[in-house]
Amino acid sequence: MYAKMHEFQGQKVLACCEKKLLGKEVVLGNDVIEAKKSFFGGKEVSEKELAKLMAKADSISLLGEKPVKAAIDEGLASKENVLIVAGVPHLNIFRV
């Protein structure tokens, strides 16, 4: 998995996607999710490292089975919150 922490107006935004999805588009009808390297392409992380990053983030964008499962395992979301686009799990988490 690749993860990258962004800072925007004092907020920490974490982006994480599976290695095989980096640089690709997931398309289903009018829904398009781009796994842009500029957004998702940080460093390669383990599930343990991802959990630490998620704990620090104000919002999180996850693309792929492993990152989404990690968020569910950490209790940050449930399976009902997951959007499936062309067979690929996608999850956004916002802390308010």
Name the average pLDDT for the chain: 93
With 90 as the cut, is the pLDDT of residue 15 above it?
A: yes
Comparing CA positions, the residue from 79, 57, 61 lying closest to residue 69 is 79
Question: Of the candidates 31, 30, 33, 64, which has an alpha carbon nearest to the alpha carbon of residue 47?
Answer: 64
Task: For residue 32, name the pLDDT band (cuts at 50, 70, 90).
Answer: confident
Q: How confident is the model at residue 14 (pLDDT cuts 50, 70, 90)?
A: very high
Which pTM does this prediction carry?
A: 0.91
pLDDT in the model for residue 82: 96
| Residue 40 DSSP class | H
44 pLDDT above the threshold of 90: yes
Report percent pLDDT > 70 for the chain. Answer: 100
CATH of domain 2-94: 3.30.1860.10
Backbone Cα Rg of the chain: 12
